[in-house]
Structure 1
């Protein structure tokens, strides 16, 4: 059987298992292992086994539980609540200020956790009810929370970029640094859109009432100190790494310890908070470990087939497509898959094909990791089955219906497409910071 046909059968079998409701790691790992045995007999078992050993020896993987632990400590100890109070007081006098503050909150939550679900949960339970109570337009603020929460998979310490690093065999530190400027660029574009729209249509984002704006300077400074604590923790963790004083794993340990000590000093590290944090950290870490393990096994079988070279020839020689056209088609396929799969499933399914193909076409794999992540953010919010749309439906107040949720994301998806286009046209937006830090 030709390599192309084997690749198609493997992908079709994997998609069939996923559609029947099987777990992602189970479907991918089973198809990879079965293909190895059928193609090479019992000796084929050695290929995924070797990939598993490679995972066990991958030292940077230790950052994964550290950052997940840090994020859960800060969220379960309600330090994130202090963040919102700070933005509420400082941004309230500006038209659309609370919505702008919510984007700022999401950026800091992303820097704490690295998962979009955490930002969505905090935004939907803390920010959204407050925005609605203040008379903000429900469609606009629903879009604000969804768009802001999507930053969690781009702003470091992004867990998705850790997964990409393992599969693409790229340095995690460079990928995280590559996500900083695009993440801040996207957040800035969100803020600019909110500000301009609320200037044009003031009723969408009214200012706080006069009596609530009259807060003493000492109270403002107190809230500023409390709200910026996560930012201080992030700086304590990242500055030594950027300066070259610590390795990535050492910095992740510093972040976890700093978050734990902050919760203890504020008197919020109770037995319940600690137990919940440890349980959630273990559950999420194990989930990602199984997914990475299955992806590496599947990818090893796929590499052994030589299917990537065959598909590259199909695109570049038979169909005569340019490298940029192939890249654009890849991004469109991510958006389509994002209507029914989450980010990790998408990456694990297509990484064995796309990542080697991107490298063969001459593109930078660090840059492509950022493109993949931004495209995933767009896919999260694309109807009819975008991942974030249904998360919002589950968490939103009763007055926000599915129609409102769908309408809310249209302008923000447009902003994200602009950000994606800018990073594609100007690769240095993503590559300048890692080149600067690692080139020293």
Structure 2
């Protein structure tokens, strides 16, 4: 077999192995070192078993990942999210927003979506947001006689917004994989994120107006809540978390701090909020640190394995085969974008977003200049597309997260049915982004020039 054929065998074998359920990071490292030993083997210079350049490559890749300034922000943002999750902020926030939006159609669903979006933005952890909001908001909506499909869809869709709206951990990972400026990426993702969240809100309010039985209006309280008390509730629940997120994001976008510096301030702010809400205990702090270390280690070792694997794959000539194959299809830029997004959409069923971004997206990146596609624009399309991986049956992880804590009478098929309209809205947003690319480019050009 020729080296390019070995490279294709390497890629195919990797896909088979991960489908069998082996740990992806260690599979990448093992296959990278194994095939790399063959690729870099030189019998004339070999003095002992470990005298092979693949081991030098593996050590260098490990050091490069651990010393990457962009990736430093990941544990800090994760710590901020885990601390906020355990600070009992979300229950106050949902209660306050439910009261503030009482006169709107679908008021509890609107409150749930805004709470999900704000909490997801602060944490960036889909499973945590969907689970916590499922425990908090779903029983309240069902008690208010909301339709099971309608209530479930709101929580599943809202919980995924954190991987798109900055400060998103997914965008940090994409920036590290692609070399795109994380600051420009954050600026570019802001308007598409708000556009998608706005479409969700319009859908919720519109459905509640057209079909009031899906979201009955709440009964008026016997004693109306005074405006002053409502303002105090917003001041102590909504604004602290919103100000924390806006401060972190503003410091990054306006160049006042690097993402790592802003993330450190965010982590400190999360601790301050937990202390202010009297929710910081030694046990909760231990849990937050442990979960932060575990998730960060997963992402970093995925990077080490992916970069080792892709280096060997490219050295064997696999990258040229992929490039020649794609060029042989004689596609237009639009056709290439559609093909790439379909592949990523399908990969989202069996794989997590981190694995897609770190392992498979780098295969597409060298092809972007051939079709004159901006990596920033491509990354925002991927961030939108990955929303669907959490919402599309049969492997909609948001639905499974919610089913795990939902009341027994809420069926998985109902959760799937409630999530599907939001998948359609994601596709509409992707089409709008392609037709009107200034949605992504306006803020980066405004802040940082062309």
Residues 1:259 and 2:270 aligned together: yes
* Residue of structure 2 in register with 1:375 after alignment: 385
Match of 1:314 among 325, 330, 337: 325
1:28 and 1:295 in contact (8 A); partners too = yes
Residues 1:244 and 2:250 aligned together: no
* Residue of structure 1 in register with 2:347 after alignment: 337
2:87 and 2:277 in contact (8 A); partners too = no
* Residue of structure 1 in register with 2:283 after alignment: 272
Deviation string 1:107-144 (CA, Å, 9 cap, x unpaired) is 21122112212221222111111111111111011111
The gaps in structure 1 that reach 5 residues or longer are: none
Residues 1:299 and 2:314 aligned together: no
Inter-partner Cα distance in structure 2 for 1:375 and 1:213: 46
Inter-partner Cα distance in structure 2 for 1:212 and 1:50: 68
Residues 1:33 and 2:33 aligned together: yes
1:208-247 equivalences in 2 (<5 Å): 208-211=218-221, 214-227=224-237, 228-247=239-258
1:29-178 equivalences in 2 (<5 Å): 29-41=29-41, 42-178=52-188
Inter-partner Cα distance in structure 2 for 1:199 and 1:5: 59
Q: Give the number of the structure whose alpha-carbon radius of gyration is greater.
A: 2
Q: By how many angstroms is 1:193 displaced?
A: 0.7
Residues 95, 251 of structure 1: alpha-carbon distance in 2 compared, 3 angstrom cutoff: same
Q: By how many angstroms is 1:213 displaced?
A: 7.9
Inter-partner Cα distance in structure 1 for 2:287 and 2:369: 41
Residues 250, 418 of structure 1: alpha-carbon distance in 2 compared, 3 angstrom cutoff: same
2:244 and 2:269 in contact (8 A); partners too = yes
Q: By how many angstroms is 1:310 displaced?
A: 2.8
Inter-partner Cα distance in structure 1 for 2:97 and 2:363: 44
Inter-partner Cα distance in structure 1 for 2:3 and 2:268: 49
Q: By how many angstroms is 1:417 displaced?
A: 0.7
Report the RMSD for the aligned CA atoms in angstroms.
1.8
The TM-score, its normalising length taken from structure 1, stands at 0.95
Inter-partner Cα distance in structure 2 for 1:262 and 1:349: 36
Q: By how many angstroms is 1:298 displaced?
A: 1.7
Residues 1:400 and 2:410 aligned together: yes
Q: By how many angstroms is 1:3 displaced?
A: 5.7
Inter-partner Cα distance in structure 1 for 2:19 and 2:222: 52
Mean CA deviation greater in 166-175 or 207-216: 207-216
* Residue of structure 1 in register with 2:8 after alignment: 8
Inter-partner Cα distance in structure 2 for 1:241 and 1:103: 25
Deviation string 1:11-36 (CA, Å, 9 cap, x unpaired) is 21111221222112112222222221
2:77 and 2:123 in contact (8 A); partners too = yes
Match of 1:384 among 381, 385, 394: 394
1:136 and 1:203 in contact (8 A); partners too = yes
